Structure 1
Amino acid sequence: MKKAKRKATNPLFPIKVEKLKQTLEDQFENSTDLSFTIFENAGQKLAVFYLSYQVNSERIENTLLKTLLESQKEWTVESVLNEVPLNTGQKMDKLEELLTNLINGHVFVYIEGEKQVVSYLMLNIEQRSLTKAETESVVIGPQVAFTESLVTNLNILRWRMRSKDLVFEKIMLGKRTPKEARLIYLKSVANETDVNTMRQRLQDLEVDEVEDANVLMQYVEDSSLTIFPQFYSTELPDRASYAINKGRVGVIVENSPAAILAPTTFFSFFESTEDLYMRWNAGSFLRVLRFISMFISVMLTPMYVAAVTFHYELIPTQLLISIGQSRANVPFPPIFEALLLELLIELLREAGARLPTKVGQTIGIVGGVVVGTAAVQAGITSNILIIFITISALASFTAPSYLMGTSIRVLRFPMIILAGILGIMGIVFGISFLIIHLLRLTSLGRPYLTPIYPFRMVDLNKVLIRFPQQFQGKRFLSFRPKDRVRFNKKKANEKKDIDE
């Protein structure tokens, strides 16, 4: 074992140019995109090799090859580094390092007989232009979203956060298909324990490849069995910069248009960046509305099923008469009726999301109206239940986080089943289980329900409602940031006369 490891780290050079070409062709299984060109000058052999689809060929011709072929000096590693007008030149002599950089868009220059090879980064980056976010639409505030280009995403964050304390720590993920990731945090604010924990989880990850930031999030989160997301995934650079400024840790991955934010709380998934850009009382109202919507989405249909099945005494007389009339021709029990309609809503939502935009909107509207009307006329379901199902579905879409909204929609199904089997006791049992489960969850080692549990009065003005900015002089203290103070609260509250 030790001999094999020592052999793998031995330098590859010096080596004959023809032997080097054969070695690379064997490594890439004679891939057609491997370009290997040999030049001769005064008895010297020089090889230039790269993956043609990964590099900027025009830049190679005009900058690298033109300089090398017009040079009157003897070719050496030092002369190449000194004469080629590129500042990305570096030396290397290990085969594994060479192969990794070759895949990542490096161009290599090897002079036969030398003990090192020279590489230049000339990656040809294919990227889409900056657009609006698809999964996190906002009305007020910045509209730009992350793209699949890691360089572009880093530039956006650096442009938004012009601080010398901002750290972009490079970490490679995946053994078979390596991808570059960046651990992002403010050195003077972020808690060192959170940074070290996230760094360790990323470095200890043993997988062949990481397809996307959302896949990475599932690998490194605290619990993989829960339905609730423990890290926040966002497409919005302003949300990422806002969280990092508050002391949280961010992770972005190459080829992924999303950033991971941690640690986070259950309440963070109901906060929107729009809450910051509007008046504090309007922002607080919308935030409370989202919490109420979550409760309605999870509880409204199960309460209907429990009341109609077991607890008629809970329903007012006039409403009970209407429900009885609407259900007179329905042959199914309420639990089956509710599950059928909930499944229908999910089918329409999924079909609308997967079809092209214009067709998807048509399917969602026409399908809901036509199928709902036909179901009532056929006596399969009651019109009152359709109203409750529609309200529950609308309430679930108010969550700013798509992942949390999906979790809430899934929770309705077990709650309906419990309500149809045990009535109110089933709903109480389900709520109790959810609360116990949430109390046990953590995000990067931090309690998921903070600041409710453990209770911290000082942080309540940052989660349930939003107070005016002058009353938010401190950061979220439950996550123990290094710098607890955002600004001097006394100076912010001072009212100075305009003539002073």
Structure 2
Amino acid sequence: MRKRTRPTKQGNSVLPIAINELEQLLQDNFPNNPDLTFSIYHHHGKIMAVFYISYMVENDKIENYILDQSLKMKTDWSTQTLLNEIPLSSGKTNTSIDDVLYGLLLGKVFLYVEQEKEIIEYVLLNKDKRSLEKAETESLVLGPKIAFTESLITNLNIIRWRIRSTDLVLEEIIVGKKISREVRLIYMKSVANEKDVNTMRQRLKDLDVDEIEDSAVLSQYIEDSSFNLFPQFDTTELPDRFSYAITKGKVGLLVENSPSGLVAPATIFSFLESTEDLYMRWQAGSFLRLIRFLAMFFSIVVTPAYVAVITYHYEIIPTQLLLSIGESRAAVPFPPLLEALLLEFMIELLREAGARLPTKVGQTMGIVGGIVIGQAAVQAGITSNILIIVVAMSALASFTSPSYLLGTTVRLIRFPLIFLSGILGFFGLMFGICFLIIHLLRLTSIGTPYLAPLYPLSLQDFNNVFYRLPFSLENKRAKFNIPKELVRYSKKEAKKKQDIDE
């Protein structure tokens, strides 16, 4: 495990230490910090220092449980007597000044009796964080609605509550040289692939950065390829989706002060799955999953195909439709390539403006702005009615992805494909698609092929990706994850249904 980064200047000082020397040490390591509270108390000839960062701890508990109890003691102060008399279960001793300095940043309270060889610490972190709320970016119709928060303790409690198993591992790793962040490596010990766990752990240990702002930033540091458009870690704010992936044998990461979790290995199909598929009948879940796959392909191809057909291959269009397209484009002065790029850019502007504005204003902006600008553009002869329909359908299809990251990637891919289609027609479109497929074939997520189980081919895993089966038949975990335990339960026992005769 990586050594914790601490703000000490003097190394690992040796106890015992005089109270005034301890105070000076703290002031040297936390200069110009008015929130560092250092109080000195006297009792039966003994001197005790209580120190902490005020805004990070629960001050009421310090007054009621630590100070009141210690000042009422009839015996002399010592490390052991204080631990026995103060009614807090989190108390323990520490002999490292480095640990004490770092503990102050974690919201710990420290007590030190002069000339003792140990310092007492209590965890009294102020837990005033954002309360549990409904997920914003991953909305569901069925299933749990709560989302992760910025509090790592709260997020870990949610995971523990959802996965009540002694097999669950919550491994702590500290990342960051100047600003330390606690990262939790989460997996099922008897299920997760050992290679995936070791890979993730090693990448976190080898990470040499000043700070990690968020889990999304962490994923960009430890992913397989930094110059790739596609996300290689499944980012989610839903605890149920995170927990479901863990029980399937994947490895998860939770980062302090981040409201989302990371899951790996991830395939391109992982970003099109939703836990809502599990809460529906298997026929409906399979249908919706298939709709998402088709929508993503439609979103990538339809606008470039329109540009290619109108520019070079209009002979494949039925005559009646060709006449309608000709009438619609009669007043448009731009070639199809420029017209499509302009309209796609306009759609992206509306989407970004709607996302940045307040919720109610943003919804109005997206609907009214799209209608007004689209109608005005047609009347002004800038674009045609048919292209507006094509671009709008393409944009709607990209929004069907449960993953915001994949939806953004798909919208970005459309622009070079439109350009290739406008220059070379269907040859350019096919060249772009082939290049994209080759790129995906080479891509991995912590060593797992990005197109698994399509490549390498594993037909028995298709029910975990492309469609759903009744739960009585889904007794195996995905083989391409290489879990330690492939079988979840006995299929024979699951099919048994016994009625009780009254």
Question: Do Structure 1 and Structure 2 share a fold, with TM-score over 0.5?
Answer: yes
Give the corresponding residue for 2:273. Answer: 271
The residue aligned with 1:248 is 250
Task: Give deviations 1:432-461, integer Å, cap 9, x for gaps.
Answer: 111001001111111111111000111011
Determine the C-alpha separation between the residues in 2 that align with 1:186 and 1:201. 19
Q: Which residue, 444, 466, 469 being the options, matches 2:468? A: 466
Contact 2:94 2:119 in 1 (8 A): yes
Q: Which residue of 2 aligns with 1:455?
A: 457
* Alignment partners' CA distance in 2, 1:20 and 1:469: 62
Counterpart residue number, 1:405: 407
1:495, distance to aligned residue in structure 2 (A): 4.5
| Residue identity opposite 1:80 in structure 2 | L
Residue 12 of structure 1 and its aligned partner are, at CA, apart by: 3.8
- How far apart, CA to CA, are the structure 1 residues paired with 2:44 and 2:170? 46
In structure 1, what is the equivalent of residue 314 of structure 2?
312
After superposition, the C-alpha distances for 1:213-233 in whole angstroms (9 at most, x for unaligned) are: 111111111111111011101
State the partner residue of 1:179: 181
SS in 2 for 1:266: coil
Q: Is the 8 A contact 1:9 1:94 kept in 2?
A: no
Per-residue CA deviation, residues 356-386 of structure 1 (Å, 9 max, x unaligned), is: 0111111111111111111111111111100
Match of 2:448 in 1: 446
What CA distance in whole angstroms lies between the structure 1 residues aligned with 2:10 and 2:448?
41
2:12 and 2:98 in contact (8 A); partners too = no
Matches within 5 A, 1:207-222: 207-222=209-224
Distance in 2 separating the partners of 1:337 and 1:289: 29
In structure 2, distance between residues paired with 1:90 and 1:224: 43
Q: Distance in 1 between matches of 2:177 and 2:14?
A: 21
Q: CA deviation at 1:389?
A: 0.3
- How far did 1:496 drift? 3.8
Distance 1:28 1:495 in 2: 67
1:130-189 Cα shifts (integer Å, max 9, x gaps) = 111111000011111111111111111111111111111111121211111211111111
AA at the equivalent of 2:401: A
d(CA) in 1 for partners of 2:494, 2:167: 24
How far residue 26 of structure 1 moved from its aligned partner, in angstroms, is 1.9
- Contact 1:105–1:124 at 8 Å: present in 2 too? yes
Cα distance in 1 for partners of 2:12, 2:340 equals 67
One-letter identity of the residue aligned with 2:80: E
Establish whether residue 29 from structure 1 lines up as the match of residue 35 from structure 2. Answer: no
Match of 1:425 in 2: 427
Letter in 1 for 2:441: L
Report the residue type matching 1:191 in the other structure: N
CA offset at residue 124 of structure 1? 0.6
- Matched residue SS, 1:65: helix
Equivalents in 2 of 1:214, 1:65: separation in Å? Answer: 42
Q: Shift in Å at residue 8 of structure 1? A: 5.3
Equivalent pair of 2:170/2:186 in contact (CA under 8 Å): yes
Secondary structure, in 3 states, of the residue corresponding to 2:109?
strand
Q: Contact 1:17–1:47 (CA<8 Å) still a contact in 2?
A: yes
Aligned residues: percent identity?
Answer: 61
Structure 1 residue aligned with 2:376, among 339, 349, 374? 374
1:4 alignment partner in structure 2: none
Paired AA for residue 358 in structure 1: K
Cα deviation 1:239-269 (Å, max 9, x = unaligned): 1111111111111111111111111211111
Q: For 1:119, give the aligned amino acid.
A: E
Matching of residues 57-206 of structure 1 within 5 Å: 57-206=59-208
Q: Out of 225, 235, 238, which is 2:237 matched to?
A: 235
Counterpart amino acid of residue 377 in structure 2: A
Cα deviation per residue 1:76-99 (whole Å; 9 max; x = unaligned)? 122222221112222223332111
Aligned AA (1:357): T
8 A contact 2:310–2:336 mirrored in 1: yes
Q: Distance in 2 between matches of 1:496 and 1:66?
A: 63
TM-score between both structures, scaled by the size of structure 1: 0.97
Selected match of 1:361 from 342, 360, 363: 363
Contact 2:19-2:49 within 8 A present in 1 as well? yes
- The answer to whether 1:437 aligns with 2:439 is yes
Paired residues of 2:111 and 2:119 also in contact (CA < 8 A): yes
The Cα shift of 1:69 comes to 0.8
2-structure distance, mates of 1:498, 1:38? 72
Match of 2:291 in 1: 289
The code of the aligned residue for 1:177 comes to I
* SS across alignment from 2:179: coil
How many Å separate the matches in 2 of 1:469 and 1:37?
61
Q: Give the Å deviation of 1:22.
A: 1.8
SS in 1 for 2:472: helix
TM-score of the superposition, structure 2-length normalised? 0.96
**In 1, Cα distance between equivalents of 2:173 and 2:12:** 24
Secondary structure of 2:32 counterpart: coil
Contact 1:40-1:46 within 8 A present in 2 as well? yes
One-letter identity of the residue aligned with 1:204: D
The equivalent residue for 1:280 is 282
Distance in 2, matches of 1:377 and 1:174, equals 56
Please give the secondary structure, in 2, of the residue aligned with 1:211: coil
Letter in 2 for 1:304: Y
Q: Give the secondary-structure state (helix, strand or coil) at the position aligned to 2:93.
A: strand
Q: Match for 2:163: what amino acid? A: M
State the alpha-carbon separation in 1 of the partners of residues 32 and 114 from structure 2.
Answer: 22
Letter in 2 for 1:441: L
Q: Return 5+ residue gaps in structure 1 as ranges.
A: 1-6
Which residue in the other structure is 1:346 paired with? 348
Q: Which range moves more in the overlay, 78-87 or 257-266? A: 78-87
Could you tell me how far 1:17 is from its partner in structure 2?
1.3
C-alpha distance in 2 between matches for 1:369 and 1:12: 72
In the other structure, the counterpart of 2:42 is 40
Distance 1:497 1:68 in 2: 64
Whichever residue aligns with residue 472 of structure 1, its letter is E
How much does 1:468 deviate?
A: 1.6
Aligned equivalents of 1:30 and 1:122: distance in 2?
A: 23
Distance in 1, Cα, partners of 2:12 & 2:318: 83
